[in-house]
Amino acid sequence: MPWLQVASSGDVKETGALGVDVEGTPVALFRVDGAVYATHNICTHQFAFLSDGYVEDGCVECPLHQALFDIRTGRAMSAPASADLRTFAAKEEGGLVFVDLTRSAGTVAGEPHQEPAGEPGAAAEAGERLVIVGAGQAGARAAEAMRQAGHAGPILLIGDEAEAPYERPPLSKELLLGTADRESIRVLPADRLPSLGVGVRLGCRVTAIDRTARTLSLSDGSAVNYDKLLIATGARARRLSVPGADLPGVHHLRTIAEAEALGAALRAARRIVVVGAGFIGLEIASAARRLGAEATVLERADTPLERLLPPAAGRVLQSLAEVHGVAFRFGVEIAAIRRDGAGLRVDCADGTAVAADAVVVGIGTEANLELARDAGLAVDNGILVDGEGRTSDPAIFAAGDVAHYPTPINGRRCRLESWQHAQEQAIAAGRTMAGQATTYGRTPWFWTDQFGRNIQMIGLPSRDATVFVRGTAGEAGSVLYLLEGGTLSAAIAFDDPQAIRDARARIESGAPVDAASLGAVPLPAATSASACPGAPSDCAASGAPAEESQTMAEPQPSFRWPEEGLTRIPDWVYTDETIYRREVERIFHGRSWNYVALEAEIPNPGDYVRSNVGPTPVVVSRAEDGSINVFENRCAHRAAEFCRSLRGNAKEFVCPYHQWSYDLKGNLVGVPFRRGVDGKGGMPKDFRAQDHGLTQLAVTTHRGVVFASYASDMEPLADYLGPDIMGEFEATFDGRPLKVLGYYRNTLPGNWKLYHENLKDPYHATLLHTFLVSFGLLVAGNRSLMLCDESGRHGVMASAKSDGKNVSQENKKEMRAYQEGMVLEEPRFVDYRPEFDSPWSVTMMTVWPNMIVQREMNTLGIRQIVPTGPNEFIMNWTMFGFEGDDDEMLRHRLRQGNLMGPAGFLGLEDNEAIKYVQDGMKNVPDGRHLVALDPATEAGTSDTLISESAIRAMYRHWRSVMDV
């Protein structure tokens, strides 16, 4: 096919894409570094025109879900796209653009748009030879900037790590958590530097600079000449100089390899000690908590980030960490680290010690400035440079972490370690070296992600600044303003990028500001101490989270428990809205494992079911890697409950309202028109998808049963249940694969706890359920047990079937329901066919707070409690058998199912009785219940059915959690 003329050259610009129709094929035209490229115009993920997308760094980003494609190769660079984009050969002649639909871009060798061959030195004569020492973010960006600024001569990038340039911020965040991999954090696409004709030598260290001869000596014995040199050697993690600092299990974090090692260590560890309460230390503590480990931070100073921030601001970060369970110890000098059995022990100078499975040292960095210092360049704690990046030798420049530069803030000089500095100051230096003098004068900007907050800082804080706060310090949307001499020197915003933009303008204007105009008030010096007055250390171990104390401070009805103690239960326990809300917060969303699904319901990747944790709708999903994930069924954008089907199979979850899309783990992968259209609208520039995923819950499974928790640091299920309850759990879930037989669902107009009580109340079974009694399934003389765990929250009501013949006349009289002579025509449906390794034919297990395991002889089911308010809940029943049941066993289970469920002979009676109880409380003020049976057992396990000790045990636990 001949070349087809598709556009005028002038219409294809570097900043964007042009969509054209070429004989029915939608084609996107791009211009990258002067040359034109053509790709198919429709994203391979979902239908969207890439010509509406965002072009940057030789890639086009789909406007719909931010799939990223390399324009030259069509390669899909990021999720959610996995299929590459078709490319077409393109060329320019006589001011016109031509495309050949029959050939892809790579097949047109020798066309004018091809990049110059990448051999360094091949065109050495064309210009100066620029050499960059250090292949990190600064080095890579400088190399790119040199070429983009028009430098035609050779460029050589030398790095001592054997890694292509990568960005470091994810090392202490996504890479630790495993939500990003090493390829996703590269500074540039793999072919970017070769295509720019930049030579790269990795795994090679520069050992000396001969400034007179303009020659570098390399660790491999070779030498390299330069006309101009850029030193971007970065910094290294400072090491502890104490015995044991180099033991296995003691980590530092600076390189990709160290991050991967630390990530693995955090996942394996239960207890982490972080030495140093700087940003890196706090981020590592955050990652550790997220991964379920205990985290203790040891800091020599008295507040976090003491060298950088005023103490009051540091304490805000401390509080945030403490609320998430991080323990701090301040004023601690490390004396030694020792091996202690399988773990480590950190010995402090004051004689105390902290045990850990892994220790992470985050005590700052030291610039790699030896090369410069030995060459006689002026240095402080970094290499001194001017605003254009020039050192004391005009042929030598420095950039990134190693550079000590004049900030625009009152001319203060410092060394800045930030993504922004490594990026933009390096670009300025690179452009200057290429002949386009560029001064770097950006206001310092920095971000950190910790404990679910995106925290951004603008300006240059100093310890002496006065701190003002807008909002509740540390909460989303709050801002700390640091004022010095009547002007704003810095601002720290929590989940509020807009505040950072506003603050930047104020800082850059240098105009006087007062706190009132910022809507801010002085930050109390002891913000953190509100949780733990006077003792900032070890708060998390002992203290209630700060938000709880706020809840308690609100005016509210007085919840006074009756003086008689546990034998009385006041009605407000079951009817009060405030109590209910506190239950959701502290019980269902608190430290509990909540039943959500059976693994048998989601056997394959992409399978999902709707479920609930407390009242909160969640989705239980099996991801491509086989993992089970539980996340809120609430779009991170506008709260829409996006998943409406009861179950299904999906590749991703897309909220229908604005098409935000999430992967099978609940991570946000796509935001339509995130970049706006035609440069207008769209999300703030600093919007980061990883900060706006669905709320994800901790997940555990046992014997095919899936539990979820809002607490990220829940104890293992076995510890949560305790050995007795776990034993009964494993008697029912005995390892045979489960087979779901169907569902019942019903509402129940009663308080959710009444259902627990019903199953901790063996007294009722003999009296309410005539059916059971009549057929000898359960009578007062039967062998039985009411078992409680240590905490009192879980229970098992167990009994062994008898034939009814041993019921004494005296017992029969007491049980009015007992009906002599009542016989079933088809009694086989109440047969017990032994199949479990258990002395009990019936066990009813209550797993706090939302699960009941029904083993009523051979009819098996899980009941899930979904509270919808104090006066009503929904009960979801999942009835199951086992794979391998023969047809007769299956039908036996189904026939026996007539006992349970909202139409079951027993089930309907329980539902009715609970409704009666709730009705009885409606119109009687200040009522109370009497639960005094079996005074010999104050609370807990009882071997008589005529007991309410298990109910009392439950309320002992409930009261401790609820503070009533």
Partner 1 sequence: MDSIFNASGSRTDQLLLRAEIDDFNTAYAGALDEGRLQDWPGFFTDDAFYLITSRENHDAGLPVGLVYCEGAGMIRDRAFAIERTAMFAPRYLRHIVGTARLLRAGDDGTVESTANYLVLQTLFDRPESTIHQVGTYIDRFRLIDGVLKLQERRCVYDNLLVPNALVYPV
Q: How far is CA 815 from the centre of its chain?
A: 56
Which is nearer to partner 1, 168 or 769 (by Cβ)? 769
Which is nearer to partner 1, 375 or 772 (by Cβ)? 772
Nearest distance, CB of residue 859 and partner 1, angstroms: 9
Which is nearer to partner 1, 410 or 747 (by Cβ)? 747
Which is nearer to partner 1, 378 or 740 (by Cβ)? 740
Nearest distance, CB of residue 749 and partner 1, angstroms: 6
Cα–Cα distances in Å, from 445 out to 172, 455, 490, 500?
18, 11, 9, 9
Q: How many Å apart are CA 912 and CA 910, to the nearest integer?
A: 5
Which is nearer to partner 1, 21 or 912 (by Cβ)? 912
- To 10 degrees, the CA torsion angle through 189, 194, 199, 200? 30
Nearest distance, CB of residue 701 and partner 1, angstroms: 22
Nearest distance, CB of residue 570 and partner 1, angstroms: 25
Nearest distance, CB of residue 740 and partner 1, angstroms: 7
Nearest distance, CB of residue 861 and partner 1, angstroms: 9
Which is nearer to partner 1, 96 or 817 (by Cβ)? 817
Contact between 404 and 383 (Cβ < 8 Å): yes
Helix (H, G, I), strand (E, B) or coil at 881: strand
Which is nearer to partner 1, 319 or 876 (by Cβ)? 876
Q: In what order do the strands lie in the sheet with 198-201?
A: 198-201, 155-158, 130-133, 228-231, 396-398
Contact between 873 and 809 (Cβ < 8 Å): no
Nearest distance, CB of residue 773 and partner 1, angstroms: 9
Q: How many Å apart are CA 358 and CA 513, to the nearest integer?
A: 46
Cα–Cα distances in Å, from 513 out to 47, 76, 462, 488?
49, 48, 17, 7
Which is nearer to partner 1, 280 or 857 (by Cβ)? 857
Nearest distance, CB of residue 612 and partner 1, angstroms: 13
Question: Exposed/middle/buried for 248, CB within 10 Å: 0-12, 13-18, 19+?
Answer: exposed
Q: Assign residue 883 a region: left if phi > 0, alpha if psi is -120 to 50, beta otherwise?
A: beta
Q: How far is CA 896 from the centre of its chain?
A: 44
In the numeric block, the tokens 């505040």 are attached to 499
Nearest distance, CB of residue 926 and partner 1, angstroms: 23
Kind and range of the H or E run holding 480: strand 479-484
Which is nearer to partner 1, 768 or 842 (by Cβ)? 768
- How many residues are listed for the chain in this entry? 964
CA angle 106, 112, 114 (to 5 degrees): 40
Nearest distance, CB of residue 904 and partner 1, angstroms: 8
For CA atoms 639, 645, 651, 657, give the dihedral sign.
Answer: negative
Which is nearer to partner 1, 452 or 615 (by Cβ)? 615
DSSP-assigned letters across all residues of 885-929: --HHHHHHHHHHGGGSSTTSTTHHHHHHHHHHHHHHHHT-TT-EE
Among 577, 557, 572, 580, which Cα is nearest to 924's?
572
Nearest distance, CB of residue 823 and partner 1, angstroms: 9
CA angle 491, 496, 501 (to 5 degrees): 60
Which is nearer to partner 1, 106 or 749 (by Cβ)? 749
Q: How many Å apart are CA 298 and CA 348, to the nearest integer?
A: 9
Nearest distance, CB of residue 916 and partner 1, angstroms: 8
Q: In what order do the strands lie in the sheet with 653-654?
A: 653-654, 661-662, 668-670
Which is nearer to partner 1, 657 or 743 (by Cβ)? 743
Q: How many Å apart are CA 722 and CA 706, to the nearest integer?
A: 17
Which is nearer to partner 1, 96 or 913 (by Cβ)? 913
Cα–Cα distances in Å, from 595 out to 349, 642, 851, 852, 883?
46, 21, 6, 9, 21
Which is nearer to partner 1, 481 or 771 (by Cβ)? 771
Nearest distance, CB of residue 817 and partner 1, angstroms: 7
Nearest distance, CB of residue 893 and partner 1, angstroms: 9
Asked if omega into 867 is within 30° of 0 (cis), the reply is no
Q: How many Å apart are CA 864 and CA 467, to the nearest integer?
A: 49
Which is nearer to partner 1, 244 or 861 (by Cβ)? 861
Which is nearer to partner 1, 647 or 959 (by Cβ)? 647
Question: Exposed/middle/buried for 69, CB within 10 Å: 0-12, 13-18, 19+?
Answer: buried
Q: How many Å apart are CA 789 and CA 853, to the nearest integer?
A: 15
Which is nearer to partner 1, 152 or 894 (by Cβ)? 894
* DSSP H helical ranges for 584-633: none
Q: How many Å apart are CA 792 and CA 931, to the nearest integer?
A: 15
Q: Assign residue 679 a region: left if phi > 0, alpha if psi is -120 to 50, beta otherwise?
A: left
Nearest distance, CB of residue 872 and partner 1, angstroms: 9
Nearest distance, CB of residue 104 and partner 1, angstroms: 47
Which is nearer to partner 1, 291 or 609 (by Cβ)? 609
Positions that interact with partner 1 (CB under 8 A): 646, 740-749, 768, 770-771, 774, 817, 819, 822, 824-826, 829, 874, 879, 890-891, 894-895, 897-898, 901-905, 907-909, 911-913, 915-916
Nearest distance, CB of residue 741 and partner 1, angstroms: 5
Q: How many Å apart are CA 73 and CA 191, to the nearest integer?
A: 10
Q: How many Å apart are CA 435 and CA 517, to the nearest integer?
A: 44
Q: How many Å apart are CA 494 and CA 447, to the nearest integer?
A: 10
Nearest distance, CB of residue 364 and partner 1, angstroms: 59
Q: Assign residue 87 a region: left if phi > 0, alpha if psi is -120 to 50, beta otherwise?
A: beta
